[in-house]
Structure 1
Amino acid sequence: MQPSRGLGATAGGYAPNYPSAPPHSNGFSQGFYPNNATPAKAPYGNAIGGGPPGPQAPPGGPGAPAGTPGAPAAMAGYYGQDAASTAQQYPQQMPFSQPQQPQQQQQPMYPGQMHAPPPPVQQAAPSYPQQPPPLPPQQQQQQAAPGGRYMPAPSAPFAAAPQQHQQGPPQQQQACYMPPPVQQQEPLAPVQQSGPGGYMMGVLRQGSGSLGGVGPGGGAAGGRSSYYPAAAAAAAAAQQQQEGVSQQQAEDLLQLNAPAAFVRPSVWRIPSSSSLRHKCHLPLGVVLQPLASLGPGAASVPRISFGSGLVIRCRRCRTYVNAFVTWEANGRRWVCNMCGVSNETPQFYCAPIDAKGRREDAAERPELSRGSFEIIAPGDYMIRPPQPPAFVFLIDVSHQAVAAGLPAAACSSIAASIAADRLPGDSRALAAVLTYDSSVHFYRLDASQTRPQLFVVPQVEEIFLPLAENLFVPLQECKEAILNTLNAIPDIWRANECTDNCLGSAVRAAAMVAKHVGGKILLFASSPPTVGEGVVRREMNRDKGGQGQGERDNDLLKPAAETYQTLGQQLTQSQLSVDMFLCPPAYPTASSVDNPYYAPSGGGPQGGAPGAPPGAPRVPASGGGGVGGCSSFDLASYASLAQFTSGELRYYPGFSRELYQDKLQAEVDRVLSRVTGWEAVMRVRVSRGWKVCERHGRFYLRGADLFVLPTVHEDQTFTVSLEPDEAAGAASGDCLLSLQVALLYTHSDGERRIRVHTVALPLTQNIQSLRAKVADGRAYLQNLCVQLMAALQLPAGHCTAPYGPVAAAAAAAAAAAAAATPPANNAEQLKRLGYLVMGILKSAAFRNTKDVTSDMRVYCFHRLSWASLSQVVVYLSPRLFCLTDWGDSEGSVDPQGCVLLPSALPLTSEVMTQQAAYLLENGEQMLLWIGKSVSPDWLQSVFGVASYEYLHPEAAAQSLGCTDTPLGLRTLAVIRELRLQRLQPDYMQLKILRQGDSSEQLFFAMLTEDRVSSLPLTASEFLHKVGQRSLPALNPPYPSQQQQQQRGY
C-alpha cells in the first residue's frame, strides 16, 4: 500500500540559487535563473568517444603453447581477457511520479533554502507531466501547512528569488514533506579540457547534429513508415541491405552467442564505420563477467577436453575454435571468424559438413553449438603445477584499531567462516595470520599447540621472516590452532598503546610468507602507515574544502605517490592479490555530547546510557557512518594495491565494532567463500577491422593486451571499449563483429581450465537500427560510468563535472528510444535510461558537491569499476518504501515462502510526510528516515521507545524488531528480505535518520527524481528536456570570472 501523497507539491526536492551565475541558453533559462539572460555557447568535442588507439596484439599471444611466435616464454600457455555481465533481469521500471493537479499553486520547498520555478514549456509534451507554476514567497509564507505536515518557512534566499505565479484566486491545498534547508553548495565549474578519453568538458552546442536529426516525433528512416505494412516491408528490405544480415539471421546469432550474464554489449548492432559511431554518440563497449553465476536452476558451463594434449586454435591469431567459424573442404579445414585465416582440421577432429556448411556433429560438441564453454587445459598451459588456495589474514592492532574494535571484529568474522568450512580448497587450502602496529607480529600455527606462539619483528625497514616453517599451514590440519589464535588476538592487544602502524611493511611481510604459493591477502587497516615502508605524505589544502567539505582538486582522486602501484605490480609477479578492508574510525563530534544514549564508560540500566529507557543498547562513542565524521585515509594513494592485484576495496567510514560487525562479517564471508579462480590471465580478441581501445577494471596489464589476475571471482567485472581499426581495415564481405574472451585460471579443486566466451554482433550502416538496439540500458550505463571516471581523473586542471558526456549520452538514449517501435515503448525506454542517467549525475561518484569527500569518491569509483551490472543499476536507481502506512499483507509470508514487500514509491520527497517513516535501499546500504510526527504506537511496536525524543539512531538500528510485536516482526522481515535480495556481494547496513538531523541529507541526496545542487532538474523536467534534445539545459551555469579567480580555477 502506498501512503497518501501531499497534494500540489512538485516532483522536485532541491533547486539551488545561483545569484551571480551566468545565464543559460536555449530558452530553458528564461524564468529559471534569476538574471534570465542568454549565455555564450561552448563548443563540444567527442563527448563519449574513446581515447587513442591501443597497441596491437602480438601475433602469437601468451595463450599459445610454448614456442608460439609473439608469446613470452615465461607466460607460455596463458591467455584470456576481461569478462562481465549479470544473469539477473532488468529491474522493473520505477513508478513514475505523476504530480496531481492542485487547486492552488504553491511554491516548492527544497533543502537548499532556495526555490527554482519550473521552466516555461514552449511545446506540449503529453508523455511527461508538467510542473505547475508556484506561488510567490509572500503568499507561501502566509499559507498554513494543513494536516501537520512538515513545511519549513522560507528564509532569505526565498525572499530574494524572482516571483512567478499563476494568475487567479488562491485555493486550499495539502502540503507534503520537503527536506529542511541546508547550506548552499556551489557547484564546481565545468572546465573545458580534452585528454586521452577524447572528452571536451563543457556545454554541448545546440543543433550540433549529434542526434543525426532523430528525436521524438521525427527521424530519417524510422518515422511513420512502420505503421503501414507496405512501407514497413520496403523499409525492412532496405534495412537488410544496409545491415548485411536478416532479422532471422540476427536471432540465430543470439542463440549461439555467450549468455549475457558473461558478455553483454552496450548495443546489439555495431556501427560499421568510425564516422557513424561518432555520429551516434553511443558508447560502444562490452561488459564482461567471465565467472558470473547463472543463478539457481541454470545449466552449468559445459566442460570439454580435446584429448591428445591439443587445443584447437587459429594458427595466426590464436582464437579458440567456436560456433562462428566456417568449414570448408568437407570439414578438413576451418576459417577463423576473427582473422579469416584457413586452418587445417586435426585428423581426430574431422567430421563431415551438411548442405548448409555446418558440421553434422555440431550439436554434440559444446564448442560448436554454445557461446560459452570450458576446456581442460593440457600441460602446455601450465608453468608450474596448480597451487592450492591460500589466504593470509593481516590485521591492524594499533591503538586506534583496538579502540574501534577492529581486531575483535575482523578475528570473529574470519573465525566464523573457517569454523563453518566456508573456504574453498578443502584439505588443500593454506592459511597464515599476521598482525601489526609499529612492528610486524608473526604467529606460529602448530597443530600440536593449544596456545598461539607470537614472534615480533620490530625492524620494519628491512622486514624478514622469523621462522622457516609453521607460518603458512594447511587450513584443515591446523584448524584448531588457527581458531585459537584468532580468538586470542583481541585479548593479546587489548591494552596496546602504540599509535604508529607499518601497513606497507606488513604487506611486504605477508607477501614474503606466501610468495612461493601465491593466493589472497586480506588486509584489515584503520589508518595509513606512519612508519616503515610505504609511508605516503599528502598535503591537504584546507582552503579548498579539506576533509568533510568536498575536495575540489582532482589531484586528490589520484595517488600522491606510485609506492603502492609499484608494490602491487611486485605482488602480481608472485600471484598475490590484496583485498583491503579499510576501517577509519570516527573522530569525536559535538553530536556525541548531545547523544542521550551516549555512554563513554559504564552505562545505564541493562547496558544502556545513563538515563536511557530500560533495555536500550549501549551506543558506541563514535559518530557512526556519516553521522559524525571519520579520519581521512587517502584512498587514492592506497587503492592501487587492490587495483593492480585484481583485489577488492571495501570502505567502512566511521568504523566501530558495534556499528559494522554484521556488515564486516557478511562481506568477509562472501570474499572467502565465493567461486574464485587462481593464477589467472585473460585476453579479449576482436575480428579484423576492430580493436580494443580502452580497458577498465582491476588488473595488471602486461604487454599490449594481457590482463594478469592473481585471483578472479564470480562478482568481478571488466569493461572494454571498441572502435574501428581503420589501419587494419575489414574485409569487404564482413557483416559481423566477433569478440572472444578467454580466461585461463586454476579452479579451487586444482584443475587448470580455459573458459571461452564468444559473441557475434551484426554490423549496420543504419543509424536508426543502431539506436534502436541499445541493449537494455545496463551495459550502456556501465560503459558510460567507466568513461566518466576516466574523464574525472584526467591529468591537469581541476575536478570537473561530467555534464558534457552525460548530456551526449542522454541525447543518444532519447534517440534510441525514438527509433524503437511501437511508440508506447519509446517513453518507457526513455524513462528507464533517463532515470539511470540522472542516477549517474546525482550519485556520490559524480555529483560535484561539498558533502562528498575524496575518499568516498575514490571508493565509489572503485565500486563502479568492478560491480556487476545489476549492482550498478540498483546503486544508481534505489528503491523507496513506506514502512508506516501498511495493510495486513506487507511483511507477511506468501504461500511460496517469500516476504511480501510494500509498494515501491517514486524517488521524490513529494510522497513524503512527517507522520511516516521511509526506507531507502541502493544495494549497499539502507536508510530509514523517520518523521517527527510519526505515531508513538509505531515507535513502541518497532523500536520499543515511547516517543520520538527517546529515539536514538544507533540504538534504534540495533533494537529494531526486538519488541516481538507483530508489527515489529513484520518490519524486521521486510529488512531481512531486502538484505537477502542484495546480499551478494554487499551487506546492506541499516542506518536510522531522524527528521531534522544533519545526517538526513544522505537520504535526500539519493532521491534522484528531485532537484539537487549539481543538477537542478526534477525527473519530469529532465526527461522533457532530453526528449526535446535541449541538452545545454543539463549544464549548470558557469561561475563568474571573479568567482573563478576566487576559487583558483
Structure 2
Amino acid sequence: MPAVFFFLIDVSMNAIQTGATAAACNAINQVISDLPEGPRTMVGIATFDSTIHFYNLKRALQQPLMLIVPDIQDVYTPLETDVIVQLSECRQHLELLLESIPTMFQNSKTAESCFGAAIKAAFLAMKSTGGKLLVFQSVLPSVGIGALSSREAEGRTSISAGERETNKLLQPADKTLKTMAIEFAEYQVCVDLFITSQTYVDIASVSVIPRTTGGQVYYYYPFSALSDPAKLYNDLRWNVTRPQGYEAFMRVRCSQGIQVQEYSGNFCKRIPTDIDLPGIDCDKSILVTLKHDDKMQDGSECAFQCALLYTTVYGQRRIRVTNLSLPCTNMLSNLFRAADLDTQFACFLKQAASEIPTSPLMQVREQVTNLCINILLSYRKFCATVSSSGQLILPEALKLLPLYTLGLIKSPGLRNDGRVDDRSFWINYVSSLPTPSAIPLVYPRMIAIHDLISKEDGSLIPPIIPLSSEHVSDEGIYLLENGEDALVYIGGLASSSTVQQLFGFSSIDEVHSQLVLQQYDNPLSKKFNDVVNEIRRQRCSYLRLKLCKKGDPSGLLFFSYMVEDKTASGPSYVEFLVHIHRQIQMKMS
C-alpha cells in the first residue's frame, strides 16, 4: 500500500471568517516537506461547504483545475485518476493551491457544511489505495449524507435537563457515520479529524469515524486565529511524521487457562479474534481485557503474545511480535508488591470513559470510588499485618491510587457542569490514550515559574507542586499542564517586572487569555521557554497555552484543577481519604 495523504478542508463561511481555513492551508503547506520522501508518496486535496470541490493536480495543467460535485446525497469522485497524484509531480501546484484557497472562498456566504458527503467522496477517491484522510472541520455537518441537527438545546447540559437526555447527546445521533466508517476501515482508510470550531459540532457523532478507523480527534475550542495556528501546525506535523503504520491487524494470544475477553480502543473489529487498524501510531494504546477460566499452578508461568502485522510508510510489510511471560502466584501480597499503578489507572480511566455515555454520572463516580475501595480493602484484609483499625493502610505501589481516583471523579468527563462537546471529546481522547498520559490527564503537573532563575537545581523542570490552593501564593506565577492544555496563572500580587519579563505585558491588567509564547531578551524568559519546550517534547504535544488571572473566569478555570481542594465537583483529598477509610472499616466489621 502506498503512503497516501488526502487533505479535506472546510471552506464554509464560518471557517473562512474565523481564520480556520487559512490556518489549515498554512499548516498543510508547511507540512508537505515533512511527508515521507519517495515515489510512493501520493497526495490529494479537496474543499467543501455545501458542495464538494476536488482539484486536478496533474502537472500538465497550467494550474490546478477545480471540479465541483454538487450532488451531496449520492456522491461520486469526478475523476478516476489525477485527484490523487505523486507528491513529487504536483508539489508546486499543491503549494500554489493551498496559498489561494482562503482567498478563493473569502467572500463565501455559504454557512452549510456537507461533512459526511465530503468524507464519503474523498473515500471514493482513496478506495483503490487506502491511506490517511486528514479532515479540517469548523461547523456542524448540516446538509447531505450524515447531516446532523444541533442537538445541544442552547447548552442546557445540567442534570436538571434530565440525565437521560444528556446521555443521549454523548452517543452518535444515528448509524449513518458508523456504517460509513466500517466501510472506510475495510478499504484501509484512516481518518484524522481536526475540529477548529467556536460552536457545537456534535463530537459524539463525528468522532465515530476516527475511532473506527484507527484515527484521532484534535479539538481546538474555541478556535483562536491568534494562538491556535501554531498548535494546529505542530499537531499536524507530528501526526504525519511520528512512527506509524497502515493496514494493520492485531491479535493477542494467551496460554491455556486464560482468554481474551474484549479489546477496546480506536479500531474496527470484524472477526472476534482480530482487530483491524487502518492506521496505528506510537501515541495509541489498546486495552485488552483478559479472563481466566481455569486454575493456574502456583509457580508456573503464563504467557501472552501480541502480534501486529502492518505496512510502514515506506511500503514494507512487517510483523511485530511482543511476548510476555509472567509467574503465577497464590500470594496476594506478591500481586500488590508488583502492581503497576500507571497501567492499572489507565484501565480505570478507559473503563470509566466507556461507561459515561450510557450511565448516570453519579453512578460512574460511585463505580470508580468502589473500585478503589475494593482494591484497598483486599489489601487490608489479606495482606496487611494486623494493626489498629484506626489506620488507613495503603500498599506501597498503589499509595497514590486514592489521589488519582479523586482526580478522575473531578475531571471534565465526570463533572456535572461543562459542555456536551467537551465531555464527548474527553471520552474520545481517553479511548486511545497511551498509559504514560493517563495520570497527568486527571492529576496535572504544576510548577512555579516566578522563581525559575533563583532555584537552579540542575534539572530543567522545577519541582512539582501539589494541586492544592494553599500551595498557590498570590505573589506567584504558575504553570499547570495535563499533556493537552497548559494554563499559566498569574497571582493578583505578582510582580509587574516578572510579568513584563515573561510575557511582555507592562501590567497585569493588560493580560488577556490568548497567549502566544515568545522569547524576550532576558534570562527568565529564556528559562521559561526552555521549560515549556521540554514539557512539549516529553508530551509529544504542543500544549495549548492559556493565561489565567485572579478574579477572572479564567482564574476559576485554573482553580478547578486543584484536585486536593474541596470543590463543587467533589470532596477535598483529606475528606476523600476519610470516606475511603470509613468504607473499608464498615466492610471489615
The two structures have a TM-score, normalised by structure 2, of: 0.91
Aligned equivalent of 1:910: 470
Cα deviation, residue 537, structure 1: 3.2
Aligned equivalent of 1:1019: 573
Residues 503-522 of structure 1: pairs in structure 2 closer than 5 A: 503-522=115-134
Residues 269-668 of structure 1: pairs in structure 2 closer than 5 A: 387-419=1-33, 422-424=34-36, 426-449=38-61, 451-537=63-149, 539-541=151-153, 545=157, 553-585=166-198, 631-668=199-236
Residue 945 (structure 1) aligned with residue 505 (structure 2)? yes
- Closer, same or farther in 2 for the Cα pair 1:825/1:932, shift >3 Å? same
Q: What is the alpha-carbon distance in structure 1 between the residues aligned to residue 502 and residue 407 of structure 2?
A: 31
Q: Secondary structure at the match of 1:702?
A: coil
Cα deviation, residue 428, structure 1: 0.8
Q: What is the alpha-carbon distance in structure 2 between the residues aligned to residue 635 and residue 1032 of structure 1?
A: 42
Aligned equivalent of 1:688: 256
Cα deviation, residue 909, structure 1: 0.2
Residue 715 (structure 1) aligned with residue 269 (structure 2)? no
Contact between 1:836 and 1:873, CA under 8 Å: does it hold in 2?
Answer: yes
Q: Secondary structure at the match of 2:226?
A: helix
Contact between 2:140 and 2:150, CA under 8 Å: does it hold in 1?
Answer: no
- Closer, same or farther in 2 for the Cα pair 1:396/1:550, shift >3 Å? farther
2:481 corresponds, among 921, 928, 932, to: 921
Contact between 2:80 and 2:125, CA under 8 Å: does it hold in 1?
Answer: no
Cα deviation, residue 967, structure 1: 2.7
Contact between 2:337 and 2:395, CA under 8 Å: does it hold in 1?
Answer: no
- Closer, same or farther in 2 for the Cα pair 1:404/1:494, shift >3 Å? same
Q: What is the alpha-carbon distance in structure 1 between the residues aligned to residue 490 and residue 309 of structure 2?
A: 51
1:884 corresponds, among 450, 469, 473, to: 450
Cα deviation, residue 545, structure 1: 2.9
Q: What is the alpha-carbon distance in structure 2 between the residues aligned to residue 568 and residue 784 of structure 1?
A: 27
- Closer, same or farther in 2 for the Cα pair 1:675/1:569, shift >3 Å? same
Residue 971 (structure 1) aligned with residue 538 (structure 2)? no
Contact between 1:830 and 1:1023, CA under 8 Å: does it hold in 2?
Answer: no
Q: What is the alpha-carbon distance in structure 2 between the residues aligned to residue 1021 and residue 584 of structure 1?
A: 39
Aligned equivalent of 2:333: 768
Cα deviation, residue 1024, structure 1: 4.5
Q: Secondary structure at the match of 2:204?
A: helix
Question: Which amino acid is the alignment partner of residue 971 of structure 1?
Answer: F
Where has structure 1 moved over 6 Å in runs of 4 or more?
Answer: 549-552, 731-734
Cα deviation, residue 806, structure 1: 1.9
Deviation per CA, 1:992-1045: give whole Å up to 9, x if none: 0111111222211211111222321x2233335435554899xxxxxxxxxxxx
Question: Which amino acid is the alignment partner of residue 551 of structure 2?
Answer: G
Contact between 2:511 and 2:547, CA under 8 Å: does it hold in 1?
Answer: no
Contact between 2:181 and 2:208, CA under 8 Å: does it hold in 1?
Answer: yes
Cα deviation, residue 449, structure 1: 4.2
Q: Secondary structure at the match of 2:113?
A: coil
Question: Which amino acid is the alignment partner of residue 559 of structure 2?
Answer: F
Contact between 1:398 and 1:437, CA under 8 Å: does it hold in 2?
Answer: yes
Q: What is the alpha-carbon distance in structure 2 between the residues aligned to residue 987 and residue 768 of structure 1?
A: 41
The two structures have a TM-score, normalised by structure 1, of: 0.52
Residue 857 (structure 1) aligned with residue 423 (structure 2)? yes
Structure 2: 5+ residue runs without aligned partners? Answer: none
Q: What is the alpha-carbon distance in structure 1 between the residues aligned to residue 507 and residue 334 of structure 2?
A: 60
Residue 803 (structure 1) aligned with residue 368 (structure 2)? no
User: Size of the alignment, in residue pairs?
Assistant: 579
Contact between 1:692 and 1:723, CA under 8 Å: does it hold in 2?
Answer: yes
Question: Which amino acid is the alignment partner of residue 397 of structure 1?
Answer: V
Contact between 1:771 and 1:815, CA under 8 Å: does it hold in 2?
Answer: no
Contact between 1:677 and 1:711, CA under 8 Å: does it hold in 2?
Answer: yes
Deviation per CA, 1:573-615: give whole Å up to 9, x if none: 2111110111112xxxxxxxxxxxxxxxxxxxxxxxxxxxxxx
Q: Secondary structure at the match of 1:461?
A: coil
Deviation per CA, 1:14-71: give whole Å up to 9, x if none: xxxxxxxxxxxxxxxxxxxxxxxxxxxxxxxxxxxxxxxxxxxxxxxxxxxxxxxxxx
Q: What is the alpha-carbon distance in structure 2 between the residues aligned to residue 542 and residue 490 of structure 1?
A: 30
Contact between 1:554 and 1:799, CA under 8 Å: does it hold in 2?
Answer: no
Cα deviation, residue 961, structure 1: 4.3
Q: What is the alpha-carbon distance in structure 1 between the residues aligned to residue 297 and residue 177 of structure 2?
A: 48
Cα deviation, residue 557, structure 1: 1.3
Cα deviation, residue 901, structure 1: 2.7
Aligned equivalent of 2:302: 737
Structure 1: 5+ residue runs without aligned partners? Answer: 1-386, 586-630, 1034-1049
> Which gives a bigger RCO, structure 1 or 2 (Cα 8 Å, sep 6+)?
1
- Closer, same or farther in 2 for the Cα pair 1:975/1:790, shift >3 Å? closer
Contact between 1:427 and 1:477, CA under 8 Å: does it hold in 2?
Answer: no
- Closer, same or farther in 2 for the Cα pair 1:995/1:803, shift >3 Å? same
Contact between 2:6 and 2:133, CA under 8 Å: does it hold in 1?
Answer: yes
Cα deviation, residue 826, structure 1: 5.1
Cα deviation, residue 554, structure 1: 1.3
Contact between 1:400 and 1:526, CA under 8 Å: does it hold in 2?
Answer: yes
**For the aligned residues, what is the CA RMSD?**
2.8
Contact between 1:688 and 1:730, CA under 8 Å: does it hold in 2?
Answer: no
Deviation per CA, 1:315-370: give whole Å up to 9, x if none: xxxxxxxxxxxxxxxxxxxxxxxxxxxxxxxxxxxxxxxxxxxxxxxxxxxxxxxx
Q: Secondary structure at the match of 2:135?
A: strand
Contact between 1:550 and 1:854, CA under 8 Å: does it hold in 2?
Answer: no
Q: What is the alpha-carbon distance in structure 2 between the residues aligned to residue 759 and residue 452 of structure 1?
A: 53
- Closer, same or farther in 2 for the Cα pair 1:943/1:541, shift >3 Å? closer
Question: Which amino acid is the alignment partner of residue 564 of structure 1?
Answer: L
Higher helix share: 2
Aligned equivalent of 2:403: 835
Contact between 2:260 and 2:291, CA under 8 Å: does it hold in 1?
Answer: yes
Q: Secondary structure at the match of 2:172?
A: coil
Contact between 2:132 and 2:189, CA under 8 Å: does it hold in 1?
Answer: yes
Contact between 1:838 and 1:1008, CA under 8 Å: does it hold in 2?
Answer: yes
Higher strand share: 2
Deviation per CA, 1:427-449: give whole Å up to 9, x if none: 21111000001110011112344
Deviation per CA, 1:891-910: give whole Å up to 9, x if none: x9x6xxxx733322111000
- Closer, same or farther in 2 for the Cα pair 1:834/1:390, shift >3 Å? same
Contact between 1:396 and 1:437, CA under 8 Å: does it hold in 2?
Answer: yes
Cα deviation, residue 638, structure 1: 1.2
Residue 749 (structure 1) aligned with residue 314 (structure 2)? yes
2:412 corresponds, among 844, 847, 858, to: 844
Aligned equivalent of 1:1003: 558
- Closer, same or farther in 2 for the Cα pair 1:808/1:519, shift >3 Å? same
Contact between 1:677 and 1:746, CA under 8 Å: does it hold in 2?
Answer: yes
Question: Which amino acid is the alignment partner of residue 513 of structure 2?
Answer: P
Contact between 1:881 and 1:920, CA under 8 Å: does it hold in 2?
Answer: yes
Contact between 2:298 and 2:329, CA under 8 Å: does it hold in 1?
Answer: no
Question: Which amino acid is the alignment partner of residue 577 of structure 2?
Answer: L
Q: Secondary structure at the match of 1:498?
A: coil
- Closer, same or farther in 2 for the Cα pair 1:972/1:770, shift >3 Å? closer
